[in-house]
Amino acid sequence: MKASLTCLLIVTLLQSASADDGYLANGSMTDGRELPTGWRAATGQEGTGQATASRDTQVFKIGPAALRLSVSGGTRGAVTCPLPDVAGKEVAVSGWVRGEGQLTSAVLAFVCPGTDQSWQPVKQFSAGGTWRRINARLQLPAGGETPFLMLQAQGDGHAWLDEVAVLAGERFQPDSVVSEFDGPSQFSFLAWEKKAEAADGGIRIMAPSGQGGAGFALAADLSPFGERSPALTVVVGQGNQAQAVQVVLQDADGTAHQFTFPLNGAASGSTLALTADDGASLQEWGRHGNRPQFRNG
């Protein structure tokens, strides 16, 4: 059974906070000349090329500008903004990122030098040329040196950051979009190994059979949406023979719930907004574990 699908898991959308509020000034990238005010010049490691950063007034989510990081020759580049006030704090991060070109990796992260957990990823994303939402809450470690927010990319291409806000954790607004599949999978196995790839607007699956799967990391608190059932948007690929798509949501403690989305012989090229076969909510008992609690999932 071949499966050729591009999937986007969606419930509803929520608005982000103001980009110039909270711990990070100039999150809209409005102020500055060559670089947005508050950001340091880019640095590069590895590869044979270089890394540069600039205030881009041509490509942005909302004008007048965005932060752009450019890398070439396989170089791993980074551009950073020190944020001393976030040390030891729980923070809520929102905004938008975009990748383009031949990037092997692209990520927005906090770095907390001198702590046991210095690397704190916020959002990993692909180079599909589409703006992707950031909406995450994380606890940063105390101690060490001044933390900084870092946009990092490696390969040949560009990464953008715009309309970013870093707020106190209690101001986090849960986002009911579970996953846009906008970054590489954490793992894949059996017939799906190396067959699930990031594509513009989702994940493209081209597997020889349904015997396998792929996993994606989430940084989402789904507890406010416990009474809702997930929905899946699917674009059916040419020659698809899959009869259904199964999605398992697993919490950090191993709690899991399986949802089945039947395709019902949908024609190639069609776009479907699917609801789960049994309409089960997130609060109901799962087939793969105990009652879900959906915390830091």
* Mean pLDDT, range 91-119, rounded to an integer: 95
**What is the span of the domain harbouring residue 59?**
43-171
- Domain assignment present for residue 123? The answer is yes
For residue 290, is pLDDT > 70? Answer: no
- Above 80 in pLDDT, residue 19? no
Residue 260's contacts (CB-CB under 8 Å, 6 or more residues apart) are: 244, 245, 246, 276, 277, 278
CA atoms within 13 A on the CB side of 230: 26
Same domain, 56 and 143: yes
* pLDDT at residue 4, as a whole number: 59
Of the given ranges (31-35, 185-189, 197-201, 246-250), which has the lowest mean pLDDT?
Answer: 197-201
Within this chain, do residues 161 and 188 fall inside the same structural domain, yes or no?
no
Of 148, 171, 194, which one is at a domain's C-terminal end?
171
How do residues 149-178 score in pLDDT, each as one tens digit? 999 999 999 999 999 999 999 998 877 777
Write the DSSP assignment of 132-200 as a string of letters.
EEEEEEEEPPPSSS--EEEEEEEEEEEEEEEEEEEEEGGG----S--B---S--SEEEETTTTTEEEET
Burial of 234 (0-12, 13-18, 19+ CB in 10 A): buried
Are 160 and 189 part of one and the same domain?
no
Q: How many domains does the chain have?
A: 2
pLDDT of residue 14: 35
The token pair at 232 is 């899946």
Is the CB of residue 129 less than 8 Å from the CB of residue 135? no
Structural domain contains residue 37: no
Give the integer Cα–Cα distance in Å for 293 and 227. 12
The domain boundary, picked from 154, 171, 188, lies at 171
Q: Tell me, what's the pLDDT at 201?
A: 63
Which pLDDT score, from 0 to 100, does residue 196 have? Answer: 82
> pTM for this structure?
0.66
Q: Is residue 38 part of a domain?
A: no
